[in-house]
Amino acid sequence: GDVFALSPASFDFSRTNTKDSRITFTRASSGTFVDADGLIKSAATNTPRFDHDPVTGKSLGLLIEEARTNIFLKSEKLNEWVVGNGSSVTANQAVAPDGTNTADRVQHGSGGSSWIRQDVLTSGTTYTVSVYAKAVTPGTNDQFTFDLGGLSSIFVATGEWKRFTYTGTASNASIYLNNGDDSFATDVYFWGAQVEEGSFATSYTPTDSSSVTRAADIVDITGTNFSSFYNTTEGTFFGDLTGPSGFGFIAHNGSNDFRHGFAVTSGTPFAVISSIANHLGVAPTLIKNGGKFAYGYKANDYGAFGDGVNLPGTSPTTVPTGVNELALGYRGSYQANAFLNGHIKRLSYFPTRLADALLQSITF
C-alpha cells in the first residue's frame, strides 16, 4: 500500500495546489507565479503561490522565497528607458508571458551606441538581471547581451518566451540591454525586466515608476496544529523539494539549539541536519540540487536517505526537546532567514521512525 496513507500530516502541494488548514501562511505583498496554463499571474497578499513549469504546465509545488526588490523601473515599458541613438523601442507589440499585449519590440542597429539602459545600480554590488525574451524572427537578429560592468555571454532568443538571467558585479550605476559587440543588428521582443541584489533570480516583480519589493513567504505549522501529529521521541520526515539555498523545513523550539530537518549547505547541495546543542548529528550533502529526502529520528537511532542513497552520519543519543513549530522553506520564526528560494512539492511526517529500507524506497 501507499506508505503516505499512514502519515497524519502529508502535504502534497504539487497535487492539491491548496494550503492545508493547519498551515499558517503570510506574505506582506503580492507575488507572481506561473499558473497551470503557463501564464504569469499575481497572487494577492497573504496568498500562497503554487507554481508551474511554464513549458509543460507541470506543478512544481509551493513556492517559498525571501524578500527581494526589483530596482528596475518601468519593467514592462522599455520604451521609457534611456534609448541609445542606434536603437529603437516600440511599445506593446506582442503578447507577453502574462497573456497581455505588453511586450515591447527592441531593435538595435549594427553600429555603436545600440542599447537601452537604466542608471539604478550601486557600484560594487552583485546583482542578477533577468528578462523575458522572444525573437521577432527566430534565427534572424535574435541575439542580445546584458552589461552591468561586464558583458554577459550572448543570449539567443527563440520563437518561444524564455527568461534569461545573468549575475554580475556593477562597476557603476548603469545597466544596459544591448547587442553585445555592436557588430550586429538585433530585433527582439522583451518583457518583464528585473534586476535584484543577489546571486540568482527570483520570481518576477513588476514595476512602474518606482522599485517594488516582494515580501518573504512565511510558512509555519504551530500550536496544536503541530503538536497534534508530532511525536517527541521518534518520527520521520519526508520532503520532495528543490531550491538553491536555505532550509527545506525545520522543526524547532524557537532557537538554534534544538531543531532538526533538512537544509541546504553553501552552494547547492542539500544537507540533512539533526541539530542538538552543538549541531551534532547527521550532516551529509547530496550532489544534487533538490530531490526526495527522508530522515528518521530516535535516540541513538537516526537515519537519512536522499534519492535512494544512504546519508551516513552520527546518531545523537537524544532527541531535540521542546520542539513546538515546523517551519517550511526557511529557518523559522525565531530567525527569519535562510529561505529555500524554491519549491516544496511534498512534505510528510510519520510519528514513528521508519525502517531504513522504507526510507530508501520512498526516496527513489
pLDDT at 268 over 70: no
Reported pTM = 0.94
**What element of type H or E holds 177?**
strand 174-178
* pLDDT band, residue 288 (cuts 50/70/90): low
* pLDDT band, residue 281 (cuts 50/70/90): very low
In the prediction, which pLDDT does 50 show? 98
* pLDDT band, residue 278 (cuts 50/70/90): very low
Place of cell 552520527: 314
pLDDT at 196 over 90: yes
CA distance 185 to 178: 10
| Average pLDDT estimate for 140-156 | 92
Integer CA distances (angstroms), 336 to 106, 118, 149, 328, 340, in order? 41, 32, 32, 11, 12
In the prediction, which pLDDT does 277 show? 46
pLDDT at 335 over 90: no
pLDDT at 293 over 70: yes
* pLDDT band, residue 113 (cuts 50/70/90): confident
* pLDDT band, residue 262 (cuts 50/70/90): confident
| Average pLDDT estimate for 197-225 | 97
Buried b / exposed e along 264-299 (16+ C-beta atoms within 10 A)? beeebebbbbbbbeeebbbbbbbeeebbbbbbbbbe
By percentage, how much of the chain surpasses pLDDT 70? Answer: 92
Integer CA distances (angstroms), 150 to 70, 307, 338, in order? 20, 39, 29
Determine the residue type at 230: Y
Length reported for the chain: 364
| Stronger pLDDT, 112 or 328, i.e. the higher one | 328
Q: Cα 164–40–176 angle (5° rounding)?
A: 30
pLDDT at 285 over 90: no
CA distance 34 to 52: 5
| Average pLDDT estimate for 177-183 | 78
Determine the residue type at 297: Y
pLDDT at 355 over 50: yes
pLDDT at 11 over 70: yes
| Stronger pLDDT, 299 or 61, i.e. the higher one | 61
Arithmetic mean of pLDDT over the chain: 91
In the prediction, which pLDDT does 284 show? 53
CA distance 208 to 191: 13
Place of cell 521609457: 80
Strands 325-328 and 247-252 come out as antiparallel
| Average pLDDT estimate for 67-86 | 97
| Average pLDDT estimate for 32-42 | 97
In the prediction, which pLDDT does 134 show? 98
pLDDT at 198 over 50: yes
